[in-house]
Amino acid sequence: MEKVFINSIGSISAQKTFDNNDFLEEITTYEDNVISAIEPNYKDFIPPAAARRMAKGIKMGVVAAKIAIEEANLTNVDAIITGTGMGCVRDSEKFVTAILDNQEQFLTPTSFIQSTHNTVAGQIALGIGCKGYNFTYVHSSVSFESALLDALMQLQTKEAENILIGGVDESGEHTNAIHKLIHHIKPEKINSNKLLQSNTEGAVFGEGANFFVLSNNKQNSSYAQILGVKTFNTLPQSELATNLEEFLKNNNLSVDDIDVLISGNNGDLNFDNYYLELSKGLFKNTQQVYYKHLSGEFNTASSFGFWVGAKILKSQHIPSEITLNTIKSKGFGTVLLYNQYRGKNHSFTLLRQC
């Protein structure tokens, strides 16, 4: 099987991450329960006329993809595979609102077209003229990992050489309002540094786009090697450790080989216990990192975690704002990511320094 590398990255998040030379040097702290992406000047990347028509999710996705493709020193890729939990949800909201408010009259197609989940992958293909494989996974918190698994399979078997993958979700007003009502969003505005001490239910919702070029050719720009990814629709807390050890064993690794655990904690009183199971159990002597206080929670927030992992391995540096404990590894060789949302759709991802 061919080795697979992360050759480039492109990120738009609630932090200023669109400049690849920077690794969270300047942190934006929030006091809120819904946070927005810090957007680049889109005009630097897309013609203004095109940008005006695009939904925020499309703009974030297209630009993050563009940054990644450029850093990989490519103009095209063999395949585009995206993950999105909700697609361009603002356009879904706009179209539903228009149907209801105008009794199915006077509708225009733009928001319907943009609401389809594959619109970002389609727009990226259109932008770079990529006629290759084009897939979109839409399965809650494993949307990005499904895209990753698909790409990994194709690169390991040499069906493709360069694949663009990405996770993208935008935040929508109505969606946020109703998720507050069912307590998936925290009732209180909270300082991002205190997210894990909230002791309340729900998460701080966010948005963003994180794209990567994966390849079976290592090059100067490469960030890390991807060893494996595994997803589970359900996983009782009592079986988390066993399944994780088995995953590591299948990759010829053990807990001691992991230098950094990147955890998807979102401060939800009801579900962070999964993360505690690992941080206080198997990995209590391992350096730990978290990131959702910086990105917010969204279906593809784990793609931001993946970005953090890639950055750590390339820079061999961990910014103090993302450390979860005081343990310091001597070097960062192997990184494990664990994520789940509301106790479902769990994923393990393994990265190695290259």
- Work out whether 251 is an interface residue with other proteins (CB under 8 A): no
Phi, psi of 339 (to 5 degrees): -145, 150
- Work out whether 300 is an interface residue with other proteins (CB under 8 A): no
- Which of 118, 176, 200, 325 is in the footprint of other proteins by CB under 8 A? 118
- Which of 113, 241, 327, 354 is in the footprint of other proteins by CB under 8 A? 113
Binding to other proteins (CB under 8 A): which residues in 156-175? 156-157, 174
Rounded distance between C-alpha atoms, residue 116 and residue 39, angstroms: 23
Pick from 288, 339, 294: nearest CA to 193: 294
By the 8 A CB rule, do 196 and 265 touch?
yes
Please give the helix or strand (H or E) that residue 52 lies within, else none. Answer: helix 48-53
- Work out whether 176 is an interface residue with other proteins (CB under 8 A): no
| Stretch of 4-12, 138-146, 212-220, 280-288 lying at the interface with other proteins (CB under 8 A) | 138-146
Q: Which residue lies nearer to other proteins by CB, 122 or 333? A: 122
Least distance in angstroms from the C-beta of 345 to other proteins: 7
Least distance in angstroms from the C-beta of 112 to other proteins: 4
By the 8 A CB rule, do 124 and 65 touch?
yes
Least distance in angstroms from the C-beta of 141 to other proteins: 9
- Which amino acid, 49? A
Please tell me the number of Cα atoms within 13 Å of 318 on its side-chain side.
25
3-state SS, residue 67: helix
Q: Which residue lies nearer to other proteins by CB, 10 or 85? A: 85
Size of the chain, expressed as the number of residues it contains: 354
Binding to other proteins (CB under 8 A): which residues in 15-54? none
- Work out whether 153 is an interface residue with other proteins (CB under 8 A): yes
- Which of 121, 278, 301, 308 is in the footprint of other proteins by CB under 8 A? 121
Task: Please report the DSSP string for 82-114 in residue order.
Answer: EE-SSSSHHHHHHHHHHHHHTTT-S--SHHHHH
- Work out whether 249 is an interface residue with other proteins (CB under 8 A): no
- Which of 48, 104, 238, 328 is in the footprint of other proteins by CB under 8 A? 104
Least distance in angstroms from the C-beta of 3 to other proteins: 16
Which pair of structure tokens corresponds to residue 1?
Answer: 């099987």
Binding to other proteins (CB under 8 A): which residues in 317-346? 344-345
Q: Which residue lies nearer to other proteins by CB, 48 or 129? A: 129
Report the DSSP beta bridge partners of residue 341: 344
According to DSSP, residue 29 is labeled P
- Which of 36, 179, 200, 333 is in the footprint of other proteins by CB under 8 A? 179
- Work out whether 269 is an interface residue with other proteins (CB under 8 A): no
- Work out whether 63 is an interface residue with other proteins (CB under 8 A): no
By the 8 A CB rule, do 208 and 295 touch?
yes
- Which of 133, 217, 225, 343 is in the footprint of other proteins by CB under 8 A? 133
Q: Which residue lies nearer to other proteins by CB, 16 or 180? A: 180
The CA-atom distances, in angstroms, between 143 and each of 24, 112, 234 are: 25, 22, 15
- Which amino acid, 150? D
Rounded distance between C-alpha atoms, residue 209 and residue 51, angstroms: 16
Q: Which residue lies nearer to other proteins by CB, 58 or 72? A: 58
By the 8 A CB rule, do 257 and 280 touch?
no
Rounded distance between C-alpha atoms, residue 254 and residue 250, angstroms: 9
Binding interface with other proteins (CB under 8 A):
80, 85-87, 92, 95-97, 99-100, 103-105, 107-109, 112-113, 115-119, 121-123, 125-126, 129-140, 142-143, 146, 149-150, 153, 156-157, 174, 177-179, 181-182, 230-235, 239, 243, 299, 344-345
